[in-house]
A and B are shown apart, each in its own frame.
Chain A
């Protein structure tokens, strides 16, 4: 591939991403961070119901442009949307998460959905259950798997049920 082609492709991707810049609404007041880490430097703040523009996504963090600065917030602080159509507006976020071009369009060919009627009409399938059960992983095997991904177990208490109705600061 020649360099100009790569450049053209790059520009196209950028243009696509910009065309799909997405809006959102702050669900609660929060601090904007300079980087997507909880202990990163403050870069401003958002207040509940602030309209924001979503610029990027990294793991559980969204980079937003808000009335009082730009920076990273936990995705739980922002409701994505403004768009009502599915798939279309996820452009920038798909690019950011490396999933652009994986074909988000749901194909219905060959594979069926799973609606109530399908479920009611279902017949017990012994062969499939046996297949499912043959894949059992033991706790020890799981521990090895975790170690190979450098996953370290930590203590973490269960979360109490919140008193609020949701979305309250």
Chain B
């Protein structure tokens, strides 16, 4: 907790992005009024008319809707750091380098090729993968073990890259923050209370345990297969892995969190099948690269 304050102020800075005048930027109360004003449907219908600033004073000042790329990365770094606090990187530099090479190549096929993409395999037997804003992608050792080819890895990373480029996690944070700030303001409990700001990402890496909506997962699946295909891989790596995972029974603890936060793999496979149809039929030279898949040492 030693370094909490600095990160809190960092988050605070993000929160206040878009306020140009420093005097106003320091006024958290006013800034938050702007939030509530922007999103009245997010707050309870209680009477807060007096606390709302005049519209002309803060014309769409809160830039929560469009944080800069830098803000996005700072936020993602915070989340990634907390996740790594729960499960550190696997101590195998060759493995980490390999995953970064594959991941970066796949990400290069997206519309955000220039984010500083970071990929890591983390020390956990759970089967899962995580993405945080700004290009942080982590997959567990348990999931890595399920892979049979580089195309499988490309598909899995492609799914997570999909979440980043569509800003799915960022949108979840924005939504939840607006809700909690709105509630806090109405309850009169705002001010110097840092815990409210902490709610931006929740405690620790809690955000990683939250579900995105199902459509976001299906969308990331569709993006994952396409990015892998664009990168020259057999685009069916992700479905192949999903089928392998779908095979795990629900009472297998290693998939508990994954199954809780994602639609069932069978459902995802069926949706992907519908989306793909015959669109990939002319891709006959996609590579699987089974032999290049880096083998874990244990």
Contacts and interface: CB of A to CB of B under 8 A. Distances in A.
B284 A39 contact: yes
Given A142-B101, A167-B273, A158 B223 contact: yes
Contact of A167 (B119, B231, B270): B270
8 contacts: A60-B234, A104-B145, A113-B126, A113-B253, A114-B257, A123-B204, A137-B97, A146-B232
A163 to B, nearest CB: 8
Interface string A55-92: 00001100000000000001111011101111101100
A152 B150 CA distance: 14
A132 B148 contact: no
A131 interface: yes
Contact of A115 (B77, B244, B257, B266): B257
5 pairs of A and B residues whose beta carbons are closest in the complex: A60-B236, A151-B232, A166-B270, A122-B204, A122-B86
Counting chain A residues whose Cβ lies within 8 A of the other chain, the interface size class is 35 or more
Nearest to B154: A151
A154 B282 CA distance: 12
Contact of B292 (A37, A81, A149): A149
Contacts of B136: 132
A8 interface: no
Nearest to B253: A113
Interface of A: 27-28, 37-39, 59-60, 74-77, 79-81, 83-87, 89-90, 97-99, 102, 104, 106-108, 111-116, 118-126, 128-129, 131-133, 135-139, 141-143, 145-146, 149-162, 164, 166-168
Interface of B: 1, 3, 7, 77-78, 80-89, 93, 96-97, 100-105, 108-109, 113-114, 116-120, 122-126, 128, 136, 140-142, 145, 148-151, 202-206, 208-209, 215, 218-219, 222-223, 225-226, 229-237, 239-240, 243-244, 246-249, 252-254, 256-257, 266-267, 269-277, 279, 281-285, 287-290, 292
Contacts of B83: 119, 122
Contacts of B77: 129
Contact of A142 (B87, B105, B229): B105
Nearest to A166: B270
A55 to B, nearest CB: 15
A85 B247 CA distance: 8
B148 A162 contact: no
Contacts, number: 249
Contacts of B270: 27, 79, 166-167
B181 to A, nearest CB: 21
A132 B149 contact: no
B7 A28 contact: no
B248 A145 contact: no
Given A86-B249, A104-B145, A120-B206, 19 more contacts: A38-B282, A80-B246, A84-B249, A86-B248, A115-B126, A118-B87, A119-B82, A123-B1, A135-B93, A135-B119, A138-B104, A139-B104, A142-B101, A142-B104, A145-B105, A154-B230, A155-B230, A160-B275, A168-B274
B108 A139 contact: yes
Contact of A111 (B124, B234, B257): B124
A97 B148 contact: yes
Nearest to A162: B274
A75 B81 contact: no
Contacts of A168: 274
Nearest to B279: A159
Nearest to B245: A86
